[in-house]
Structure 1
Amino acid sequence: MKLVCATSGTRAFALMSKQGVIRNISALAICCAGSSIRKSAARVFRSHSTQTAAAGAPPSRPGESAEGQAPPEVRTVEGPVNLFVFRLETFDPELPLVMRNSHQLPAMTKWFRRHDTGHYMFTPHLTKHSQTIFPYELTDPDSGSGSMGSQSPSSSAPPSHSPYRFPSPSPLRDALTEFRSWLVNHSNERYLPLMALIAALTEPTAEPEEFQQFYAPLGLLARACEFNHRNAALSMKTTRTAGMAPPPPPLFLQRLYIAQSPLDSLPAPLGEDLPTPGLVRNGGRGDIYDSSVWLGLEPTYTPLHRDPNPNLFCQMVGAKQVRLLPPARGEELYARVRRRLGEPGGSSRFRGPEMMGGAERTALEDAVWGEDPDRHPDMRQAVLRPGDSMFIPKGWWHSIRSTGTGLLNASVNWWFR
């Protein structure tokens, strides 16, 4: 836990002026000014929110539409939010809020570059740290396993070693096999450990597992992005000959995810590219409970769960869909899914590995994203694009996903109080 700011006696907080200048104002001074300031600020905020909602949801893009009738949109504002109004209308009453084009983090331009294939690759600034170790997840929904195998459901951290077991045939295994061949032909001996890792991942077994966690260098994801870009470029160059069948679709690595990697474990130059937003430093008491970076190849997925602290989630590359439920309504939905599985109870306060595979993953995904007739009417949704951020209050249930194919997706978040 990092103490960013704390005061004694009269609490101080920051208020942002129209010019974007932050000035410190005593909470006592606001109270002495009377309720007219609060009412005026609330009117401005509600007017802004209403205008944004009237403009409709952001235009949908391929792969962003949800199955069935989509829930209503989360309350939305444009641009950076006034800190005083944020506390009054969002943080204190514990209501979600989407802020469009609100956070242009340095990492967005310093870490990634987009190519004409639509794929992002890492910049030299980021690849300088290719040997840094990160926690990875790899999901194979076509494994047919439906079980977590030897992975302990009580541990949220990746194991020190992993069996990496996937069956044959599997689209993921095919992509991994081609990826390994490409690495052999386009890499030096520095990448021998990665080749050994991919070889282990492609070994067939009688005990397939659809969800794996392991540690590997950042270079694994960097090379996977290059591989997908290369295949997309080759596909774009392929021409159809008259009378010939169309070429097969390109093979992409997917669902390889650096998930929930703590920011304080990043090399110092990378950590500086993700400065703590003002809403996190000044929106609450100034306590930062935790922070994480999320980098991976679409589609990515986080099942329905709740967090014990408020969350500011910022999108950097690609788009993510979020669906939310208020605390009591989410509890009802989660309990109903557990009863259907014959597993009453269970913890959902963190994103755990037990949620990522098997019957529980399928049931939670159907309940939130499918055409579940029992889906609660209080559910809300949002689509976040680069520069957008979202405040998720403490205890609100949420599921987050991206739905592309092999494209890079990047996000960062802070849990704070």
Structure 2
Amino acid sequence: MLTGRTALVVSSQCRSYTTKHGLRPIPILPDATLETFRKDAFEPATPALLPRQTFNQLPAVRRWFIPASNGNVALNRHYLARFGATIVPLEITNSDKFTRIEQSLSFFLECVNASSSTYDVRPSRYFNAYRPGARAVRRTAQSNTFFSAAALTPPTARVYLAQASINDLPRALRDDLPVPDLVLKSGKGDVYDSSIWIGQAPTYTPLHRDPNPNLFVQLAGTKVVRLFRPDAGRAIFAKVQEVIGGNASATMRGDEMMQGAEKKALESEVWDDDAASGRLGFEAELNKGDGLFIPKGWWHSIKGTGDGMTGSCAGQLVVSIEQANTVLIYAIALTPDS
């Protein structure tokens, strides 16, 4: 529960939006000044939304995304293709199968294009000719084909550019996501870590916690974040481990979060509307330019929603970007004062 100074902030200084399903809303700070952020969010270590569209002017918002003909948002492939040789980590999910690989940014852009094509495209070194509605299949040692026209069903494979270090990206892309002053000046000013995520909606990040405070910034589209205090998050994690008969560590998280029984149980416990955890949690919906502060140790799960491209950036302190078909997240981590 929010108590003492935090409760005063929520009731008298911060606005909030109404959540569904009994989850408590996260307060919105009255302004985006460093003083207010420190006093009402960073120092008391309580979740807070920055005023809506605080980060709308980040260059990546207008350079990485373009309007699509259907009214949604698309990746600016022409711009991003200039950096196609950059090697990035990718997560590939197909039904309940999950794998991680490293490939070029060009490969990822081809995946995004093929999964949203409505016409035949010329065969490439990445894909066979794509037919509308073809089923996406996993690459194997014998085949480099991700899409098969054999079955006229919607694509099932999801390719997610996940946890690519921002420091490993070309200078021009790094310049598109400058570190906000709130990240540089709130704590010691050290940039602890930075990462970027891009994927196709619907996207899903399972329940986890980070070792540093995060500022999550949405660059395009919509994401819903559910948060739980450290004690509540630990209780949810322990309950799930008991249910599935697991013994996973709450601090060392691996691929078990992304597939199998643990993924299903965690998602059900956090996102099912009738789950008991809903009485313990907080929720925020982020759109383009919105920013969310997540304190150190708070457990959170994130879903990308809607249609079109999505993107997010985050810093530990974390920032996020999202639009509705593809999700992009950029994270920066800073070392807290303590």
| TM range, smaller chain | 0.7 to 0.9
Q: Quote the offset at 1:76 in angstroms.
A: 1.8
Partner letter of residue 128 of structure 1? R
Residues 227 and 119 of structure 1: CA distance in aligned 2, closer, same or farther (over 3 Å): farther
Counterpart of 2:139? none
1:144-201 deviations in whole A, cap 9, x for unaligned?
xxxxxxxxxxxxxxxxxxxxxxxxxxxxxxxxxxxxxxxxxxxxxxxxxxxxxxxxxx
- The whole-number CA distance in structure 1 between the counterparts of 2:268 and 2:10 is 35
Alignment of 1:44-83 (within 5 A): 47-49=12-14, 52-53=15-16, 56-57=17-18, 69-77=21-29, 81-83=32-34
Per the alignment, residue 312 of structure 2 pairs with: none
Pairing of 1:380-391 with structure 2 (within 5 A)? 380-391=282-293
Counterpart code for 1:274: L
Higher helix share: 1
Return the alpha-carbon distance in structure 2 between the equivalents of residues 354 and 272 of structure 1. Answer: 34
Which residue of the partner structure matches residue 331 of structure 1? 234
- Match of 1:394, SS state, is coil
Alpha-carbon distance between aligned partners in 1 of 2:109 and 2:68, rounded to the nearest angstrom: 14
TM-score normalised by length of structure 2: 0.76
1:154-233 matches, within 5 Å, as 210-231=97-118
Report whether the alignment pairs 1:263 with 2:166: yes
What secondary structure is seen at the aligned counterpart in 2 of 1:76?
A: coil
Sort the Cα spacing of 1:102 and 1:342 in 2 relative to 1 into closer, same or farther, 3 A: same
CA distances 1:57-95 after superposition (whole Å, capped 9, x unpaired): 49xxxxxxx8xx2512211236x5121121111111110
- SS of the equivalent of 2:102 reads strand
Following TM superposition, by how much is the alpha carbon of 1:250 offset from its aligned partner in structure 2, in angstroms?
A: 8.2
Runs of 4+ in structure 1 displaced over 6 angstroms?
42-45
Change (3 A) 1:44 1:392: closer
CA contact (8 A) 2:23 2:278 kept: no
Q: Name 1:27's counterpart in structure 2.
A: none
Alpha-carbon distance change, 313 to 305 in structure 1, aligned in 2, over 3 angstroms: same
Q: Give the letter for the 2:45 counterpart.
A: E
Q: Which amino acid aligns with 1:408?
A: T
| Aligned residue in 2 for 1:115 | 68
Match of 1:136 in 2: 90
Q: Is the contact made by 1:111 and 1:125 (CA closer than 8 Å) also made in structure 2?
A: yes
State the 1:285 CA deviation.
Answer: 1.3
Provide the C-alpha distance between the structure 2 equivalents of 1:253 and 1:341, rounded to a whole number of angstroms.
26
Instruction: Check whether the contact 2:244–2:262 (CA below 8 A) recurs between aligned residues.
Output: yes
The secondary structure found in structure 2 opposite 1:331 is helix
2:143 equivalent in structure 1: none
Query: Are 2:36 and 1:85 equivalent residues in the alignment?
Result: yes
User: Residue 379 of structure 1 aligns to which amino acid in structure 2?
Assistant: G
| Count of aligned residue pairs for this structure pair | 283
Could you list the runs of 5+ residues in structure 1 that have no partner in the other structure? 1-38, 59-65, 144-209, 234-247
The percentage of aligned residue pairs carrying the same residue is 37
Q: Distance in 1 between matches of 2:260 and 2:232?
A: 24
In 1, Cα distance between equivalents of 2:152 and 2:329? 28
Does the CA contact (< 8 Å) of 1:333 and 1:376 recur in 2? no
Rounded Cα–Cα distance in structure 1 between residues aligned with 2:18 and 2:274: 23
Give the equivalent residue in structure 2 for 1:414. Answer: 332
Partner residue, 1:313 = 216
SS in 2 for 1:231: coil
Measured in 2, the distance between the counterparts of 1:232 and 1:75 equals 46
- Deviation per CA, 1:288-309, whole angstroms, max 9, x where unpaired? 2111111011121111111111
**Retained in 2: the 8 A contact 1:322–1:398?**
yes
Give the aligned CA root-mean-square deviation in angstroms: 2.9
Specify the SS of the correspondent of 1:135: strand
